[in-house]
Amino acid sequence: MKNKADVIIIGGGIHGVSLAFQLVQRGLQPLVLERHFIAAEATGYSSGLVRMHYDLELESRLAWESFRIFQNWADEVGGDCGFTTTGFIKILAPEYSEQLRANVAMQQKIGIPTEALTAAEVKELAPYLVTDDFEVAAYEPYSGYADPSATAMAFMQAARQKGAGLVQDCLVTGIQVAGGRVIGVQTTQGNFSAPVVVNAAGVGARKVGHMVGLDVPVDIWKHDTMFIQRPPTLGESHLTVIDDAKAMYFRPETGGLTLVGLEDGNPVGQSLADFAEDNQDVFVDRAIDRICQRIPLMEHGRLHSVHGGYDGITPDQRAILGPAGPDGFYLACGFSGTGFKIAPAVGICMAELIVNGRATTVDLAPFSLQRFADGRQLVGEYAYENVWR
């Protein structure tokens, strides 16, 4: 096991391994340190939606760059990410109709294949949906979902084939700094040295930040999902949907299942031990009620399983990306429950930043930690309400 690397990445979630893959493409030898195993935490619990509709142009650009990698995964990375095209729609309450149209126009200028559909057009596209409580929806015909764990494993395997290192069951306990710059880390498996250290520690990002004197505003956010066995009358699949009008999202899954998650009532700021004691029955009742309101045929489905997950969330529900603290220390954290779909492009941009001093694929400067001290949280030009509420 090598104890020296060009870059140490703390965290083996989707963003840590995406960055490792991009760094080896540029001739560097990164080392990923993961306290459990690859995709053990937020990535493994992710719902895996792959879509490009955001109210912040920077995020739509990151999602668009990522989408092209998901679509061409075998050639771009190798292995299988499980990308499945279902078509995607974003539903919003009527008071956000103009914002939605403006955001669709913004995304079309980027090159994203999307359009605004009337409620009647949505009904024609998906007759199983109730469409009487909104005016317009965004439609992406080529979007869908992927398998987060498979995606992360494919990134890591491809990175290791080109020389990246991986140490699992390895908890970082300290970061070594000399002369104002990082020189390595201390862990439960010994010390490792590198001139660059990246905090991609997910829910542990705040604790890792404290090791270099930074207050990284990333709280732990709890999120439950459930799988429903669809009734045969609903068919083999359906659209992937973010339904802000009912504070819900859902997508199909293999085996005749549908995944459902809620956008409201997700606790923030508790410990992982507190989350383990949460009662999921209330979530199940609320989620079943919501999905049956949007798809009445689901009344004939049955509950398959319930899963509890968590992620790191920031005050503006946007990621923190870029250098902070001592020289050579970088942040790639706080993805706030929407980080999976942008991970391929974030890996590219972070690698550009580390190697060249600047991200050129998409500018990451607005995602800096400093924005919180400056009081300039990231908000879209045609903003919706926060995703999680």
End-to-end CA distance of the chain: give it in Å, rounded: 44
Could you tell me how far CA 294 lies from the centroid of its own chain? 25
**Running along the chain, 389 residues long, what does each successive block of 10 average in pLDDT?**
91 98 98 97 96 98 98 97 98 98 98 98 98 98 98 98 98 98 98 98 97 97 95 96 98 97 91 68 95 98 94 97 98 97 98 98 98 96 93
What angle do helix axes 57-71 and 343-356 make, rounded to 10 degrees? 110
Q: Residue 91: its pLDDT value, please?
A: 98
For the purposes of burial, counting CB atoms within 10 Å of the CB of 164, is it exposed (0-12), middle (13-18) or buried (19 or more)?
buried
Q: What single-letter amino acid sits at 20?
A: A
The Cα angle at residue 154 between residues 152 and 156, in degrees rounded to 5: 70
User: How far apart are the C-alpha atoms of 190 and 72, rounded to whole Å?
Assistant: 39
Which residue segments constitute the domains of the chain, with CATH numbers given? Answer: 7-46+149-218+316-373 (3.50.50.60), 86-143+220-311 (3.30.9.10)
Q: To which residue do tokens 């919501």 refer?
A: 290
Query: Longest Cα pair distance anywhere in the chain, in angstroms?
Result: 67
Q: Residue 280: its pLDDT value, please?
A: 80
Q: What single-letter amino acid sits at 155?
A: F
Q: Residue 252: its pLDDT value, please?
A: 98
The Cα angle at residue 128 between residues 126 and 130, in degrees rounded to 5: 95
Q: With the C-alpha atoms ordered 250, 129, 87, 232, is the resulting torsion angle positive or negative?
A: positive
Please say whether the beta carbons of 221 and 313 come within 8 A.
yes
Please say whether the beta carbons of 6 and 196 come within 8 A.
yes
Q: Residue 389: its pLDDT value, please?
A: 86
Please say whether the beta carbons of 186 and 176 come within 8 A.
yes
What are 106's two structure tokens? 């913004």
Q: Rounded to the nearest 5°, which phi and psi values hold at 267? A: -65, 145
Q: Residue 276: its pLDDT value, please?
A: 61
User: How far apart are the C-alpha atoms of 193 and 191, rounded to whole Å?
Assistant: 7
Radius of gyration of the chain (CA): 21
Q: Residue 1: its pLDDT value, please?
A: 57
